[in-house]
Amino acid sequence: MNTLKSLGIPTYNAVYNSLFPNLLKRTVAYKSALSLNNLYPNSSLKLTTLSLPPKHGNEKFSGYIPIEELDITFSRSSGPGGQNVNKVNTKVDVRFHLQSAKWLSDEIKEKLSEKEGYLIYKSDLTRSQQLNLADCLEKIRSSVRECLIERAEPSPETTEKIRRKLERAAKERLLIKRQRSQLKNDRQAPQVVL
Amino acid sequence: MPNTVDKALNLLRFLPRVCLANIRDNPGSRRGPRRGRAQHGGDKHGAGNKGSGQRQNYMRIGYETGNNPFYLRFPWEPYYKGHHLKRQYPPLSMLDLQKMIDLNRIDTSKPIDLVAILNTGLYKLFPDQHQFGVHLTDDGADIFDAKVNLEVQWANELVVAAVERAGGVITTAYYDPHSLQAMLNTKKFFERGIPIPRRMMPPPDAIEYYTDASKRGYLADPEKVSEERLVLSQKYGYKLPKIEDDPDYEMLTERKDPRQIFFGLDPGWVVNLRDKVILKPQEEELLKYYAS
């Protein structure tokens, strides 16, 4: 007798029965050729929570800011906007004490400390509180990075050039002043001393 | 103090039941149709005086009385080229999603995918109109407060940040139109008696999006996704919740295989709802095909 199988037609066998659901419990999940362990064989495929970014070389500031150490307050923004601007707290105020900040190096603290105590960053750029907070953090990061830029000092030839220019300018100014004063003097009647 | 509301309610106790006989429209809310007779409606019958308005001999649409008309000035306009073939992702705001969760239309103790959102009945999708899934928008991202395992088709950075801040996990996944039709009306699909198809890979212009960890693509490396989670928490200024210590960690990291359409059902299986039986292929050729 020719069965369907012998004729080459694909057959199905009932393997799962709803009356006895635990009879053949699945132990292996479905894995296709495109599953993640085939695409990334060297990865652990686990979703984890990193606390610090991976270090890249000798950079002084990686851009990481511990959010818990910042004092964030929300308030209402200024400007037009009707009921929305009157009611929604979209303005963000971020403060932190500079000297006691552990996440900044002393070099950065020195350059940032124009005023004693707290550094305040505010933003009401967008209509969204979250985006304004992101803007505040970006301001903090950009001000820190600006401190770390090493400005090139002018060469001795340039400094000498500048000094000579200033001297010449001063001489010129004094000459004009003297000439002016002489002119004023000539307008007066001469003082005859007998 | 005479309370108007109490007075009104007292009156209501003795008034007769509302029926068609004792209600009428507000005066002036309905104006009857004007017939073409007598002073109002007659005379020129709304056609005005002289001109093409009264004589009904209008110029063709777009005609500009002789000069080269706007619709003929430009031989082609590439701005809209291929617009009718582009993929569309009808939006679902985070506000709507939060409402659905709060009103128990969606169960947050299980992973939320397109099937769950479609089953609420509040979100409609039409795959035959080039619609490819859910685009989660950031409207309501600041008040989103539900810990969920979410799988959508498109989400921007702020949305991802909002979901992860609440302690959840979001993934973007692609479904081809055949899979979408199966997901839309699952019961009808099972009644067709055909094996569950494999989910197709995204088209070439979408592969980059779905393999990107910063977009939480389903084809991206989960390790890179973990790094991106920190990056986003730093950008938007929130403390990243530790999902490994969460008791629902297993549920939150539950994911479908890239070829799988439904949770718990493999491609190739035939689901018989009437006899409550699932038929699985046994032939090697078929097994190889469905696992490829």
Residue A118: band (very low, low, confident or very high) from pLDDT cuts 50, 70, 90: confident
Residue A107 has pLDDT above 90, yes or no: no
Q: Which of A10, A30, A51 is closest, CB to CB, to B257?
A: A30
Query: How many Å from the N-terminal Cα to the C-terminal Cα in chain A?
Result: 156
As given in the structure block, the two tokens for residue B105 are 């239309």
Task: Please tell me the distance from the alpha carbon of residue B125 to that of residue B111, in angstroms, as a whole number.
Answer: 20
Supply the pLDDT for residue A10: 56
The whole-angstrom distance between residue B18's C-alpha and the CA centroid of its chain comes to 41
Q: Could you report the per-residue pLDDT of A167-194, keeping only the tens digit for each?
A: 999 999 999 999 999 999 999 988 888 7
Restricting to A residues 134-173, those with a Cβ less than 8 Å away from any Cβ of B are 134, 136-137
Residue A5: band (very low, low, confident or very high) from pLDDT cuts 50, 70, 90: low
Closest chain A residue to the Cα of B249, Cα to Cα: A47
Mean pLDDT computed over every residue of chain B: 95
DSSP 3-state percent helix, strand, coil across chain A (nearest 5): 35, 10, 50
Residue A116: band (very low, low, confident or very high) from pLDDT cuts 50, 70, 90: low
Task: Please tell me the distance from the alpha carbon of residue A110 to that of residue A102, in angstroms, as a whole number.
Answer: 14
Q: Could you report the per-residue pLDDT of B6-59, keeping only the tens digit for each?
A: 999 999 999 999 999 999 999 999 998 989 999 888 999 999 999 999 999 999
ipTM of this complex = 0.71
User: Comparing C-alpha atoms, which of A126, A53, A71, A112 is closest to residue B237?
Assistant: A71
Residue B245 has pLDDT above 80, yes or no: yes
Task: Please tell me the distance from the alpha carbon of residue A123 to that of residue A133, in angstroms, as a whole number.
Answer: 7
Q: Could you report the per-residue pLDDT of B210-242, keeping only the tens digit for each?
A: 999 999 999 999 999 999 999 999 999 999 999
Supply the pLDDT for residue A2: 54
User: Which of the residue ranges A64-68, A99-103, B193-197 would you say has the lowest mean pLDDT?
Assistant: A99-103
User: Which of the residue ranges A137-141, A142-146, A147-151, B271-275 would you say has the lowest mean pLDDT?
Assistant: A147-151
Residue A25 has pLDDT above 70, yes or no: no
User: What size, in residues, is chain B?
Assistant: 292
As given in the structure block, the two tokens for residue A17 are 């029965």
Q: Which of A50, A68, A70 is closest, CB to CB, to B227?
A: A50
Supply the pLDDT for residue B69: 97
Q: Could you report the per-residue pLDDT of B95-137, keeping only the tens digit for each?
A: 999 999 999 999 999 999 999 999 999 999 999 999 999 999 9
Q: Give the 3-state secondary structure of B75-115.
A: CCCHHHCCHHHCCECCEEEHHHHHHHHHCCCCCCCCCECHH
Number of H helices, E strands in chain A: 5, 4
Restricting to B residues 220-279, those with a Cβ less than 8 Å away from any Cβ of A are 221-223, 225-227, 229-231, 233-244, 252-253, 255, 257-260, 266-267, 270, 276-279
Sheet holding B135-137, edge to edge: B91-93, B135-137, B154-155
Section A37-45 average pLDDT: 92
Q: Residue A117, exposed/middle/buried by CB under 10 A (0-12, 13-18, 19+)?
A: exposed
Confidence (pTM): 0.75
Contact A18 B240 (CB under 8 A): no
User: Comparing C-alpha atoms, which of A49, A42, A34 is closest to residue B169?
Assistant: A49
Task: Please tell me the distance from the alpha carbon of residue B34 to that of residue A3, in angstroms, as a whole number.
Answer: 79
Supply the pLDDT for residue A55: 79
Alpha-helix runs per DSSP H in A69-155: 82-87, 106-112, 129-148
Residue A47 Rama label (left phi>0; alpha psi -120 to 50; beta): beta
User: Comparing C-alpha atoms, which of B178, B24, B215, B185 is closest to residue B119?
Assistant: B185
